[in-house]
Structure 1
Amino acid sequence: MEIGIDRATEEAKKIKRRGNIELKNNNYCNAYNLYKEALRYTQLYYSDMENKNSSLHRKLAIVLLTLSLDQPNNEIKYLKDSAMHAEQYLKIKERHRKEVKEGYIIFFTIGIYTQRSKDYDKSIEYFEKAKSILINQGFLNGYELGIIYSFIALNYRDKKDYKKASEFYEYSSRILDKNSIGMHYRGCLYRDKGELYLMMCDYDRALEEFEKCQLIFERIFGSNNIQLAEIYHFIAFSFDSKDEYEKARIYFEKSKVIFERNPNINNVALASYYKSLGEHYHKMDQLEKAQELYEKILKIDREIQKLNPDGLSGVYSNLAMIFYNKGDMAMASHYIQMGIKEFESMPYYDKQNLALIYNNFFAIHFNNCDTAKALEVFERAKNVLEENPKFNSLNLATIYNNLACLYNKINQQKKSFEFFEKSKKLLESQSKKNSVIFAMISNSQGMLYLNLSDNKKALELFEESKNIIENMPNSNKFFLGAIYNNLGLVAYQQSDYKSSLDHYTKSKDFFEKVLTPYHHNLVILYNNLAGLYLSIDDIKKAREYLFKSKEIAEKVCDAKDLSLASIYNNLGLFYFYMEEYGRSIEFFKKCKNFFKDDKNNDENCIYAYMNIGLLYVKIGEKNKAFSIYKKCRKFCERNLNPYHPKLIRIYNGLAGLYSNYKKMKKALKFYDKAVDIVDKILNSQPMSFNYDLVDVYYNLGLYYMKINENKNALQVFEKLKSIYEKMYEPFHPKLGNIYHTLSLMHLRAKNTNKALELYEKCRLIREKCLKAHDIDLVIIYNDLGVLYCNNKDYKKAYEYCEKCRIILENEHKSCSCDLKMIYLNLGSFFSQIGDKKKALEFYDKCKLILESYFNKNHPFTAKLCKILIISYYGIGEKEVAKNFYEMGKEKYNEIKKLSEPNFDTINNYANYFRTGNNKNTFYEDYYSKNSVYFKYSTSNNEHENPRHLIIKKNLTVTFIDQILNKKLLFL
């Protein structure tokens, strides 16, 4: 039934009056329904733009604004309708040129809606209008103006203009701190200021504001109020960011209790809580719990689709870190790219956080990333964070660390040192010497020193890192696994295989507990274990771990991942050492295929080719080896600078080949080229040089020995000794080796005292570095025994010969060749001091071993037989000598030529064996045994130590830190 205009007007007035009563009694839903009904009546006969309707639009705007505050789950819907009525009210007043009543509330309403809609500039415009109205009306100290300032600050905060935000929060504080009414608004102000300080990473000031808010909210709200839960959540997050985990746990629990009692809570608030709690679990290394919470957040976003992209990007980044640590690189890459996409979709984004997300992206792809692009992004991140270093200290320290790692990767060690020092100084200034970040920087810095062969400094830094982490209440097992791996490497390089195995085993225990069975870091660890087991002659274990490493690498590595190429390279080296050359070439070629179609990796291809070249040298196919070395030389001379370290390897290889071909001038030419590069680098960049490459001097010295230029050889070895003494700590194994070589040189030159001095230096080093039963100690003890015997110091001579015998009989029974030599020397010793019975005992032991060698084509058997025959004559055992002579001459023509023995022939033959008076034979043999052929990894890193078949690799660590709920990957 239709009603007339008068009736409609009257009904509208009556309903409006009822609405006013409900509004006065705070019954906002009833008021809203009545005002809406009244508006329907007026619109029956009047245009919506009639002035009569303006008051209803104003009332509806105010009621809907209040409802949006009371019902947060419908906040956006109510705000949108509220802003629509407010804008309609303004249009009507403008059309009729009427005064705007309660203008500050109308502008405030539109300001809130546009702020929630992320139209921050428009929001600021409306809040400024509301502010002007209040100031013009004289409300200079009213709480309403304080609230307006607070919302303007909120807009600037969301625009990431923290300076402006701080300014307007201060204006708000000056008013609300003095106002006796509006305690709730004052609490909200403290909360919002605290959030701003969180964004600025100023956790102490954030806590100060949150705790002021807590006092107010606990006074005015019940114990189950959601706003109180949010404050507990923010306090927990602040403590968590300060690494005060127990305090954080208490407040997370308080927040959780309230959230669980309110099933219809604001999903946005719940998502924020899940995120902070997830990051707390992330820090505690409880990755499954963290992942569960992150996935709940994504579910909330799918349901309501209104979570802040800023927060979502952090969730994606955190999930990327979890999958990275699990070894699932595909999922890690997927989530980090989703995080970047969310960040870049924001009209206003925090450039600091975007820099950190990009940092994480390149950290995840560190091993295979475009290093130039990564360097650009890390430098950009550094510049952004340096704008406010006080608030960004932890993240800036992390960026410095990552830059240091990247510069180390591209062989700019000077830059690497610089950024490590910057990182540590920054943390020390913030009293963070016992923080996780400091520990991880020490680990990264230790890897740099390890690559530079400074084992002492590397060990110091790894131990420092380990102690910090182990003293934490919830130590990070993943990180401890990496540290123990690196400690194992140091021990391995010091030939302390027992300690190395202990450390690797601890690393394995940690990794296998926290990592998936197919994690990239297990590839590295199993490689290292394989190399260690090969060093202690446990071939079965070495093979087991190599193939474990291969199996994992083939599952987790991308088809073009150079880690897989490195595995094939290492397997090639394994079979090379096992003398299974067919299998060796198979794996080297697999490695080479990784670089066949990728011109960007040609430098890595050089290493693959060089290993194939070494294999051809080993199996005697020197022409093929020449072809490969020449190809490598051509590429490197064309594409690298003339003093690039890779050329040292190539020139060294070519020199060795020419030497084997007896083309001595050509060999010298390439040795000189290699040495020139070493000298150049040592003079200009001593700290950025791979010390292993200095060993080319050793080969040059051996070359001069081979061509009987003893004076030149001695000069080269003396120079190498000087370099080693500057580069290495006093008891480094390489110093022992050079002292040994020089002692032989001086012995040949009849400088017995000098030789003895150097032998003793070598002995001290080897006794410190090697196990008590190491075969290298046997060699030194034997030589010292002979020297002291020749010097008539029989007590010392006997002492060293006995040491040899005890070690060989107890630990190296299979080394019968060495054992018969010791027995012969002991027999000679007792013969010289007149103890013929003892001499006979040891000669008989030597004879017993020699007889077992008659059917073997061993090069020294005939010579030892001659010496032993003469030795038997020397102690009057002519019948034994004669019988042994008869046995030997049937096998060796050389024995048939043996003349009647006398003291001079005994000494001559003995000296021949002990010191190599036959110069050509001695030098040829010593050259072939001791010349250094560098083994190659397929890594760009010139500093990896290829001492054994497996290229050792130290572990980098992913570190996760917080900045406004973001996770920062630490290399």
Structure 2
Amino acid sequence: MGFFIRDLHQDLVKLHGQQQSSPDHNTLTSSFVYRGQGLSEENFSKLKNSVGGLMSFNNFLSTSQQQQVALEFIQQVRAKADKIPVFFVMTINPAITGPTTTPFALIDQVSCFEAEREILFSMNSVFRIDEIKEMDGTNQGLWQVKLALSNSDSDPSFAALINCLRAENTGSTGWTRLGQVLIKLGKYDKAEELYRTLIENTTDEKWNAHYYYMLGLVLYSQSEYQKAISFYVKAVEIFQKSDPPRYYDLATAYNNIGLVYCSAGDYQKALAFYEKALEIKQQIFSSNDPRLTSTYNNIGLVYSNLANYMQALVFYEKSVEIQKISLPAYHPDLAKSYNCIAVAYLKLGQFTKSLEYYDKIVDIQKKSLPPNHPDTASSYNNMGEVYKHMGDYVKALSYYEQALEMRQKSLSPNDPNFAFSYNSIAEVYLAMGDHSKSLSFFEKTMEIKKKCLPSNHPDIAAGYINMGNVYCCKSEYSTAISCFEKAIEIQEEMLTSDHYNLVSCYYNIGVLYHNMGNYPAALSSLKYCFEIQNMPLDTDNPMYAYPYHALGKVYQSMNDYTTALDCYQKTLDIRERTLPS
């Protein structure tokens, strides 16, 4: 099959050259060609949302100079209820689109259907989407899509993007380039198989270091964190003893080890490795070198996870300033940096600013990534998060469900990204008061987390807290307490003095025991909020108003009004000091 494809492409290149150099080539190839095709609702929706962007036909593309031929094909589509009929009108005249290197040719002299005046394009022809509109009259229900042949010779933005992507996918061998492409396409199983085979068949230590590094990257993408670190460490050992020193490779490996630790929830170790990487890079590169951006972004991510969002923005913005200079406007890496900034603004409560960046992100991703790409799904999920915080739960749910649908089409069933989708949907159902659906999605979230994360990971503790909150709403207090106690067990092992989730769990348990009428147990849990080891008792922290208020309610239920009043007074004192007047 490969030989056939190559021969057909070469024949088209030959015919294209002959016809374009012919004195009467303008009579052979008109300014427009036509194609009739049926699209699924999903693909048509993506097409409508991509006006102004690029569209690639990944196979050989058959078109006709005659409109009627294309319309006849569409009549066959109209009979299929699951397809939307589309009439493509493609501008291909170089006098209009500019010179092109895309091979296409009129093949009526070698075709069995000479009357169709067929023009055949080679694989991966790229067009810019100019206009989409519904036709009227006898063609009502038919959509006309106007395309213009685009290529790196005539479209500057397309040229910049292609040149940058080509530069990223270089390598000394076809195998290394294939591995890079498989990773970019999310084909991690195939990439892992390739790199393991290369390691088994390579004795050159220099190449093994590269393969170890790439296998670490693949395993990280599959959430195999410990295995990923082990292969990165093997690469580091070779980089450290190389002559001459491989400083940049060493810095990149440190950066990726930090990334693994960050994903595993060990933020202090992650920050230590990121800082090692940044120190090396700052010594060997200028301040505006693009190779600094990944480490700036990753340090920002650690600060984000530590809830220091203003410091996170400092590093994210350093990265973006470099990328604006070094990358084309629609490069996927620029979208990733915008995403970090959007999330930080969300956490800071600046929702309009956050949505502004998400609009930029989705615009880039629609024009530069394949349909249903995991990065696009993450953007939709995060836009849902913004709308949830704005109180628009219906719109939030719509974005969450679109993100889940994309992930179902592009990821393996146990991919940790599903946990984000399930958890987001669960939270919005909880906010809408649909407790049964909320609990169902939280349970799905926990199934994924338990398969992908260590048993004492903070995200698993958070999952138990979420389930406990739902059981509270369902008045299933004993089950709720059990969930909070499981969360406490993890948190007492993992948390440090700058975390307050432990106080929240004991507070919730105390409130539940009060609701159940078990006042001694309620008092014990609530008082423990002020006795947690290494937890600073900051009387100006508004969170302590909650356990004082809950203690007051318990003492009131016990008819100890004097102590209850004292607790309420402490609650009022804290709130007067910490809340706006």
TM-score of the superposed pair, with normalisation by structure 2 = 0.64
Q: Distance in 2 between matches of 1:299 and 1:244?
A: 34
Deviations 1:39-92 (A, max 9, x none): xxxxxxxxxxxxxxxxxxxxxxxxxxxxxxxxxxxxxxxxxxxxxxxxxxxxxx
Equivalent runs, 1:245-284 vs 2, <5 Å: 248=166, 272-284=173-185
Give how far 1:535 is off.
3.3
Count, aligned residues: 416
Partner of 1:519: 415
Matching residue within 450, 461, 482 for 1:554: 450
Q: Distance in 2 between matches of 1:617 and 1:552?
A: 33
Where 1:411 maps in the other structure, the secondary structure is: coil
Q: Distance in 1 between matches of 2:290 and 2:517?
A: 57
Change (3 A) 1:279 1:431: closer
Partner of 2:467: 571
Give how far 1:476 is off.
7.3
Partner of 2:510: 613
Q: Distance in 2 between matches of 1:353 and 1:671?
A: 57
Gaps in structure 2 of 5+ consecutive residues:
1-158
Partner of 1:658: 552
Asked if 2 retains the 8 angstrom alpha-carbon contact of 1:658 and 1:667, the reply is yes
Asked if 2 retains the 8 angstrom alpha-carbon contact of 1:325 and 1:515, the reply is no
Partner of 2:273: 377
TM-score of the superposed pair, with normalisation by structure 1 = 0.40
Where 2:349 maps in the other structure, the secondary structure is: coil
Partner of 1:468: 364
Change (3 A) 1:275 1:307: farther
- Identify, as 1 or 2, the structure richer in helix: 1
Where 2:529 maps in the other structure, the secondary structure is: helix
Change (3 A) 1:613 1:545: same
Change (3 A) 1:475 1:334: farther
Where 1:386 maps in the other structure, the secondary structure is: helix
Give how far 1:486 is off.
0.6
Equivalent runs, 1:597-746 vs 2, <5 Å: 597=493, 600=496, 603-635=500-532, 639-640=535-536, 642=538, 647-658=541-552, 661=556, 662=561, 663-676=564-577, 678=578, 697=579, 719=580
Asked if 1 retains the 8 angstrom alpha-carbon contact of 2:320 and 2:337, the reply is yes
Asked if 2 retains the 8 angstrom alpha-carbon contact of 1:492 and 1:532, the reply is yes
Give how far 1:432 is off.
4.2
Give the counterpart letter for 1:616 in structure 2.
Answer: Y
More RCO (CA 8 Å, sep 6+): 1
Q: Distance in 2 between matches of 1:675 and 1:352?
A: 54
Partner of 1:423: 319
Give how far 1:484 is off.
1.1
Deviations 1:700-719 (A, max 9, x none): xxxxxxxxxxxxxxxxxxx4
1:297 aligns with 2:198: yes
Partner of 1:306: 204
Give how far 1:527 is off.
1.4
Give how far 1:348 is off.
4.3
Change (3 A) 1:581 1:545: same
Matching residue within 335, 342, 358 for 2:231: 335
Give the counterpart letter for 1:658 in structure 2.
Answer: G
Identical aligned residues as a percent = 22
Deviations 1:182-221 (A, max 9, x none): xxxxxxxxxxxxxxxxxxxxxxxxxxxxxxxxxxxxxxxx
Asked if 1 retains the 8 angstrom alpha-carbon contact of 2:257 and 2:270, the reply is no
- Identify, as 1 or 2, the structure richer in strand: 2
Q: Distance in 2 between matches of 1:643 and 1:442?
A: 38
Once superposed, what is the RMSD of the aligned Cα atoms? Answer: 3.2
Q: Distance in 1 between matches of 2:495 and 2:467?
A: 24
Change (3 A) 1:447 1:473: closer
Give how far 1:439 is off.
0.7
Asked if 1 retains the 8 angstrom alpha-carbon contact of 2:362 and 2:376, the reply is yes
Asked if 1 retains the 8 angstrom alpha-carbon contact of 2:274 and 2:298, the reply is yes
Give the counterpart letter for 2:526 in structure 1.
Answer: Y
Give the counterpart letter for 1:593 in structure 2.
Answer: E
Give how far 1:526 is off.
0.8
Gaps in structure 1 of 5+ consecutive residues:
1-240, 256-268, 679-696, 698-718, 721-971
Matching residue within 248, 260, 265 for 1:364: 260
Q: 506-515 vs 621-630, which deviates more?
A: 621-630
Give the counterpart letter for 1:609 in structure 2.
Answer: Y
Where 1:594 maps in the other structure, the secondary structure is: helix
Q: Distance in 2 between matches of 1:291 and 1:656?
A: 54
Give the counterpart letter for 2:162 in structure 1.
Answer: E
Asked if 1 retains the 8 angstrom alpha-carbon contact of 2:239 and 2:245, the reply is yes
Matching residue within 403, 408, 411 for 1:507: 403
Change (3 A) 1:422 1:460: same
Equivalent runs, 1:156-555 vs 2, <5 Å: 244=162, 248=166, 272-301=173-202, 305-308=203-206, 311-390=207-286, 393-472=289-368, 474=370, 477-555=373-451
Q: Distance in 2 between matches of 1:391 and 1:416?
A: 19
Give how far 1:368 is off.
4.0
Deviations 1:831-862 (A, max 9, x none): xxxxxxxxxxxxxxxxxxxxxxxxxxxxxxxx
Partner of 2:3: none
Change (3 A) 1:394 1:478: farther
Deviations 1:453-487 (A, max 9, x none): 22111111122111111111546711111111111
Partner of 1:847: none
